[in-house]
Amino acid sequence: MRAAFVPEPDRVEVGDFPMPVATKEGELVVRMERASICGSDVHAVYHGFHIPGCLGAPGYPGHEGVGVVVDSKSAYFPAGVRVLTVSVGNRGRCFAEYQLIDENEVIPLPADSDPARLLMAQQYGTTLYSMRMFWPGGNTGTAAIMGAGSAGLFFLQQAKKLGFDNIVVSDLDEKRLAVADRLGAGTLVHAPRESLVDAVMDVTGGAGADLVIEAAGYDRLRADAVAAVAVRGTVGFFGFPEKYGMADFPMYDAFRKIVRIQWAGGTQSEPGLVAFRDAVQHIHEGSIEVDYCLDSVYRLDDMPTAMEVARDHGRGSVKLCIDVAGAGA
């Protein structure tokens, strides 16, 4: 089979590997149809967050994928079933024509589903799970979202559904901000020349946002999130860490504001994988929009280029997808 791999940090290649075989109870082999690049994949390749033992492994670090079961040792997922693969990043092997995966790391998809659209249920599911932690209920007012990539735009749609009156969205790219505008953001902030903190204070009369979500993964934005949130407000940290170890953080300001801080994570360990299942349903029924994520598609053999584009913030694209089934086209 063909598969992308990371032979060493900062490099992605594509080569030929033996096909995996399901040998243990509960294992599946999935013929991958499509995959997408997550921000954490970029960190794994370029920023030192790789798992040393995974270097050279076919398909690593891809963990957002959709495909069809072709070999099964599972009583729940026979051959022929289309599934969404939701492995954690260090176990994912989506950037390959075939992936060996455990039955506890897949979600069945409707028979009449569009795999390209339902692939987005992996990332949407992580934001759905996170938003349920960030905002379990209460009065809605102003929400601020840092980052208009796929995760940030999923948070925007959820904030709209929750009933937030004012939604402020910031990003580095005008094209992404245009999507945020179409999805209902009330205030757009083109960073870094414009300040999200200033925009939030303008909208709220200096009170700050009830909910601030950092969905881009920068330490300076986590500090801005504390500056932008209201007293007794909530800050949700979804973005990936910039580095291992300690990071600067405005502890005093957070303390004085009595800020509730909630980190994201753990969607793959949720009992029953409820958020992922809900995400599949929402996309399939059309209650969450994903079409803006489907415009940039690369062949598997073009993975090195696709990963470089992802490192450059997508160059205006919200999401980068990989047509794995068309690898030989």
Same domain membership, residue 104 and residue 57? yes
pLDDT in tens, 130-158: 999 999 988 889 999 999 999 999 999 99
Domain of residue 69, CATH code: 3.90.180.10
pLDDT in tens, 95-117: 999 999 999 999 999 988 899 99
Q: Is residue 24 part of a domain?
A: yes
- 282, pLDDT greater than 50: yes
- pLDDT band of residue 327 (cuts 50, 70, 90) is very low
Q: Is residue 274 part of a domain?
A: no
Q: Is residue 277 part of a domain?
A: no
In this structure, the chain runs to a length of: 329
Same domain membership, residue 212 and residue 157? yes
Q: What is the DSSP string of 69-112?
A: EEEE--SSS-TT-EEEE---TTT---BBSEEEEEGGGEEE--TT
Residue 158 class from Cβ within 10 Å (0-12 exposed, 13-18 middle, 19+ buried)? buried
Q: Is residue 282 part of a domain?
A: no
Same domain membership, residue 137 and residue 252? yes
Same domain membership, residue 31 and residue 49? yes
The domain total for the chain is: 2
Which pair of structure tokens corresponds to residue 92?
Answer: 């994912």
Same domain membership, residue 255 and residue 132? yes
Residue matched to tokens 């073009």: 302
Q: Is residue 283 part of a domain?
A: no
Same domain membership, residue 99 and residue 177? no
pLDDT in tens, 192-239: 999 999 999 999 999 999 999 999 999 999 999 999 999 999 999 999
Same domain membership, residue 185 and residue 67? no
Which pair of structure tokens corresponds to residue 239?
Answer: 């973005």
Same domain membership, residue 305 and residue 262? no
Q: In this predicted structure, what is the pLDDT of residue 78?
A: 96
- pLDDT band of residue 7 (cuts 50, 70, 90) is very high
Same domain membership, residue 138 and residue 250? yes
For residues 11 and 269, give the distance between their C-alpha atoms in angstroms, rounded to a whole number.
30
**Strand 98-102 to 27-36 pairing:** antiparallel
Q: Is residue 276 part of a domain?
A: no
Q: Residue 219 CB: number of other CB atoms within 10 A? A: 15
Same domain membership, residue 299 and residue 258? no
Q: Is residue 303 part of a domain?
A: yes
- 328, pLDDT greater than 90: no
Question: SS3 of 5, please?
Answer: strand
Domain of residue 215, CATH code: 3.40.50.720
Same domain membership, residue 33 and residue 148? no
Q: Is residue 36 part of a domain?
A: yes
Same domain membership, residue 249 and residue 224? yes
Among left, alpha and beta (phi > 0; psi -120 to 50; other), residue 40 is alpha
- Owning domain of residue 12: 2-120+294-323
Residue matched to tokens 């079409």: 291
